[in-house]
Amino acid sequence: MHKYDYLIVGAGLFGGVFAHEATKRGKKCLVIDRRDHIGGNTYCQNVEGINVHKYGAHIFHTNDKAVWDYVNSFVEFNRYTNSPLANYKGDLYNLPFNMNTFYQLWKVKTPQEARDIIDRQKAALGDAEPQNLEEQAVSLVGEDIYQKLIKGYTEKQWGRACKDLPPFIIKRLPVRFTYDNNYFNDRYQGIPMGGYNKLTEALLEGSEVRLGVDFFENRADLTAQAQQVVYTGKIDEYFDYSLGALAYRSLRFEHQTLPQDNYQGNAVVNYTDAQTPFTRIIEHKHFEFGTQPSTVITREYPEESEPGSEPYYPVNDDANESIAREYKKMADAQPNVIFGGRLAEYRYYDMHQVVASALKKVRVHFGE
Ligand code: FAD
Ligand code: UDP
C-alpha cells in the first residue's frame, strides 16, 4: 500500500491545480518543492505591505471563461490592465504597438497613415512567410519599430540574434491600429487581490506540502510513497540529460526598496535599447494600486541558464525543439508519471495555459 495516491513534484500552478483536483476527488497528495515556498514562479513576497513578484511581473489574462471562473473561485481578481511603456534611449513609447506608438514615432494620426508607413518599410520582404523573429517583426510593424522597440530587447532577453529565433515569440504581442495600450487582447485580465499566494495556498489546501525537498536527492524513496507521480520540473533533468541538456533562458532579479511612494508611475517599463543591461523595471505596488509610503522596484537581467541557475524560459528554437520532442516521446512511455507545466512540457506557457493544461490532463487522467 502506498501512503499517497500522488507525489506532485513542484508546488507551482500546474502542481497546485492537479493537487486541488485530485484532493477534490478524494485522493491523497504529497506536494514537494525544492524551493522554500509554494507558488513556483508566481510567488509573491510581502515587503513593506507590497506584494513583490519575486520571479518577475505576473499578469493573469485569458480568453477562456472556464479558466477565468476557475481562478476566481479561489481568489478575487482586481481590474489591473497591463500597459507597459518602452524606454528607448530616453524616449518613451506606448506598448503594445498601437496608434499611440505610431504617433510617438512618426507623428501619424490615422490608421491609414500608419499602415502606409509599415507597408513601405516591409516591402523588401515580399510575400514569403516569415522564417524567423526578425522577418516576422518587420512584416508586422516595419523596420523602425523593429530597430527601436524589438531588436535590442529581444536579443538581450534571448541572448540570440533575432534571425535565429522563432517567429511565434513576437506574435505574442498585439499590433493595433486603434489608440489602445492594453498589452493583451484577452477578454479577462487582472491580479489576484492580495497577491498570487492566495491562489496557490487555496489550491494546495488539503494536500501535504513539503518545502526544500528536491525530488532528485531522494527519488526512489519519494516515488515509492505514492501510486503515481506528477512531475512539473525540467523534462531533460528527469531523464538525466540523456539526450543532452535543453536550453533555457534565466533571469537575475535585482530587487530594491526605495523610500519614495512612486518611482516610475507604471508597473512595467521596458528598456528596449541594446546597451542597457536589463530588459525591464517592474514597480510592484502598481499591480494592486498600492498607496504605501515606500516602493519596491525590480530590474530584470537576462542570462543563459547554467547548472544551478533557475530555468525560466524554454528556448523553443529548432535545435531545442527537436531534442524536446524526443524527451516527450520518452515521457509518454513512462508508466505512472504525468508530465505537466512549463518545464516538463518545455512550452512557453502563460499561467492561463498552465491552468487549462492541468485541468485537461486531470480530465483525461480521471477518464472524465
Ligand atoms: P513553475 O512555476 O516553474 O513551478 C514548477 C515548480 O517545480 C517550481 O517551484 C520548482 O522549484 C519545482 N521543481 C522543479 N524541479 C524540482 C525538483 N527536482 N524537486 C522539487 N521541486 C522541483 N504568465 C502569465 O500568464 N502572465 C505573465 O505576466 C507572466 N509573466 C512571467 C514572467 C516571468 C519572468 C516568467 C519566468 C514567467 C512568466 N509567466 C507569466 C509564466 C508563468 O510563470 C508560468 O506559466 C507558470 O508559473 C508555470 O507554472 P508551472 O507550475 O508550470 O511551473
Ligand atoms: N518584446 C520586444 N520588446 C518589448 C517587449 C517584448 O521585442 O518591449 C518581444 C521579446 O522578444 C519578448 C517577446 O516580445 O521575448 C514577448 O514579450 P512578452 O512581454 O510576452 O514576454 P514575457 O513577459 O513572457 O517575458
The answer on pLDDT for 307 being more than 80 is no
Task: For residues 159 and 18, state if they share a domain.
Answer: no
pLDDT digits (tens, 9 = 90+) for 104-161: 999 999 999 999 999 999 998 888 899 999 999 999 999 999 999 999 999 999 999 9
Section 46-61 average pLDDT: 98
Task: For residues 204 and 325, state if they share a domain.
Answer: yes
pLDDT digits (tens, 9 = 90+) for 203-218: 999 999 999 999 999 9
Between β-strands 50-53 and 44-47, what pairing exists: parallel, antiparallel or unpaired?
antiparallel
In a domain, residue 282? The reply is no
Task: For residues 36 and 162, state if they share a domain.
Answer: no
Assign 3-class secondary structure to the chain: CCCEEEEEECCCHHHHHHHHHHHHCCCCEEEEECCCCCCHHHCEEEECCEEEECCCCCCEEECCHHHHHHHHCCCCECCCCCCCEEEECCEEEECCECHHHHHHHHCCCCHHHHHHHHHHHHHHHCCCCCCCHHHHHHHHHHHHHHHHHHHHHHHHHHCCCHHHCCHHHHHHCCECCCCCCCCCCCCEEECECCCCHHHHHHHHCCCEEEECCCHHHCHHHHHHCEEEEEECCCHHHHCCCCCCCCCEEEEEEEEEEECCCCCCCCCEEEECCCCCCCCEEEEHHHHHCCCCCCEEEEEEEEEECCCCCCCCEECCCHHHHHHHHHHHHHHHCCCCEEECCCCCCCCCCCHHHHHHHHHHHHHHHCCC
The residue out of 111, 143, 170 marking a domain boundary is 170
Position 262 scores a pLDDT of 98
Question: What residues make up the domain containing 8?
Answer: 4-80+188-242+314-365
**Gap from CA of 41 to ligand 1 centroid (Å):** 4
In a domain, residue 110? The reply is yes
What pTM did the predictor assign? 0.96
In a domain, residue 308? The reply is no
Task: For residues 165 and 21, state if they share a domain.
Answer: no
**How many residues in total does the chain contain?**
368
CATH number of the domain enclosing 335: 3.40.50.720
Q: How far is CA 63 from CA 82, 83, 276, in A?
A: 15, 18, 34
The answer on pLDDT for 309 being more than 90 is no
**Gap from CA of 233 to ligand 1 centroid (Å):** 9
* Rounded CA separation 93/18 (Å): 41
**CA-41 nearest atom, ligand 1:** 2
| Ligand 2 pocket test target in 101, 169, 249, 281 with most atoms within 8 Å of CB | 169
**CA-35 nearest atom, ligand 1:** 11
The answer on pLDDT for 308 being more than 90 is no
Nearest residue (by CA) to ligand 1, atom 32, is 56
In a domain, residue 288? The reply is no
In a domain, residue 160? The reply is yes
* Rounded CA separation 12/350 (Å): 12
Section 275-303 average pLDDT: 98
The residue out of 170, 199, 234 marking a domain boundary is 170
The answer on pLDDT for 1 being more than 90 is no
User: pLDDT class for 317, splitting at 50, 70, 90?
Assistant: confident
**CA-15 nearest atom, ligand 1:** 51
Note whether 183 and 60 are within 8 A (CB): no
Position 316 scores a pLDDT of 84
The answer on pLDDT for 348 being more than 80 is yes
Residue 365 carries which side chain, given as an amino acid letter? H
**Gap from CA of 80 to ligand 2 centroid (Å):** 19
Q: To the nearest whole percent, how much of the chain has pLDDT over 90?
A: 95
Residues at CB less than 6 angstroms from ligand 2: 86, 95, 149-150, 153-154, 157, 169-170, 172-173, 270, 272
Task: For residues 146 and 116, state if they share a domain.
Answer: yes
User: pLDDT class for 18, splitting at 50, 70, 90?
Assistant: very high
In a domain, residue 90? The reply is no
* Rounded CA separation 43/201 (Å): 10
Task: For residues 104 and 166, state if they share a domain.
Answer: yes
The residue out of 144, 170, 196 marking a domain boundary is 170
Task: For residues 100 and 75, state if they share a domain.
Answer: no
Task: For residues 110 and 238, state if they share a domain.
Answer: no
The answer on pLDDT for 248 being more than 90 is yes
Section 85-110 average pLDDT: 98
Q: Is the CB of 195 under 6 A from ligand 1?
A: no
Task: For residues 122 and 26, state if they share a domain.
Answer: no
Task: For residues 59 and 108, state if they share a domain.
Answer: no
Task: For residues 158 and 192, state if they share a domain.
Answer: no
| Ligand 1 pocket test target in 7, 234, 342 with most atoms within 8 Å of CB | 342
Count up the domains in the chain and report the number.
2
Nearest residue (by CA) to ligand 1, atom 36, is 312
In a domain, residue 324? The reply is yes
* Rounded CA separation 278/246 (Å): 24
Section 262-277 average pLDDT: 98
**Gap from CA of 40 to ligand 1 centroid (Å):** 5
Position 332 scores a pLDDT of 96
**CA-86 nearest atom, ligand 2:** 8
Task: For residues 217 and 318, state if they share a domain.
Answer: yes
Q: Which residues are catalytic?
A: 172, 176, 249, 280, 300, 348, 350
Ligand number nearest CA of 55 is 1
The answer on pLDDT for 200 being more than 80 is yes
**CA-157 nearest atom, ligand 2:** 15
Position 169 scores a pLDDT of 94
Short-list 69, 67, 66, 41, CA closest to 54: 41
Section 282-301 average pLDDT: 98
Position 166 scores a pLDDT of 92
User: pLDDT class for 189, splitting at 50, 70, 90?
Assistant: very high
Nearest residue (by CA) to ligand 1, atom 38, is 58
* Rounded CA separation 323/359 (Å): 26
In a domain, residue 181? The reply is no
- Residue 33 phi, psi dihedral angles, 5° rounding: -145, 140
